[in-house]
Structure 1
């Protein structure tokens, strides 16, 4: 299931010398989308604080499909591609909100971390069950 995880705008200061949004801002907007998806999966800020856990991206692949220009309204839709014992496989799609044109996609592998040991650790069963509800169904 893909859910909306981000809405925003491209500001002039986010443009590069080519006149379109610089790659660093795609990453920032996808990162913001991540935290909304994590929260929907039961990995909220309160969960991280209470259990001394965290999440870390260990691999990210971004594909750029169209330019994002100053003033463009953007929207991200996100879902879980797979969940393993200690990792989530995530897909984010960024669209132009007005035209619905696909702007970019990013796929991430994110590890669930114990912040004290600094190592990956298993998700609790409740998180696994909730994350499964966000699995993207194949077409």
Structure 2
């Protein structure tokens, strides 16, 4: 497994014209889509993604997510997603994504997502394979000492708006 001592930077993308809303900036749904693409990149990096699904019949389902929208993005803006592994259990994985403007460096959004491992034959939650569980635990351990962004564990609210 490659080094995971810092946030993972496995996914880059560019804001597409079809992602814009009537306000001329990226629609809220696409912030989540980009973070979902980053989740796929992490799972592929862990060998628990598409090839694992085909090989072993296991996959992940997202069961909860929290997104913050911090800055506007426009057509053509380059995006970079940084990912922290917050928690891994026998059947779950919790990730935190920071969606960054790849050139200006500002955080445009954040996404905290809870994923469950699912056996596609039964469509039921089940344990990770032993080797995958070890890779997940190693990633979480590598990220354990990193600073936690203030959005981690945040609830829905607007603390700065009356």
TM-score under structure 1 length normalisation: 0.94
Shift of 1:131: 1.3
Q: Deviations over 1:91-139 (max 9, x none)?
A: 1111001111001010010010000111000012211111123222243
How far residue 25 of structure 1 moved from its aligned partner, in angstroms, is 1.1
Question: RCO higher in 1 or 2 (8 Å CA, sep ≥ 6)?
Answer: 1
Whether 1:129 aligns to 2:134 is yes
Question: 2:49 touches 2:59 (CA, 8 Å); kept in 1?
Answer: no
Q: Name which of 84, 88, 91 aligns with 1:86.
A: 91
> What is the alpha-carbon root mean square deviation over aligned residues?
1.2
Gapped regions of structure 2 (runs ≥ 5): 1-5, 148-162
The whole-number CA distance in structure 2 between the counterparts of 1:13 and 1:125 is 41
Residues 99-138 of structure 1: matches in 2 within 5 Å?
99-135=104-140, 136-137=143-144, 138=146
Q: TM-score, normalised by structure 2?
A: 0.81
1:33 corresponds, among 34, 38, 52, to 38
Q: Hey, what does 1:74 align to over in structure 2?
A: 79
Which residue of structure 2 lines up, in the alignment, with residue 60 of structure 1? 65
**Structure 1 counterpart of 2:159:** none
Q: How many residues are aligned here?
A: 139
CA distance in 1, matches of 2:11, 2:92: 22
Residues 80 and 132 in structure 1, CA contact (< 8 A), matched pair in contact too: no
Instruction: Assess if the C-alpha contact under 8 Å between 1:5 and 1:34 holds in 2.
Output: no
1:97 to 91, 102, 108: 102
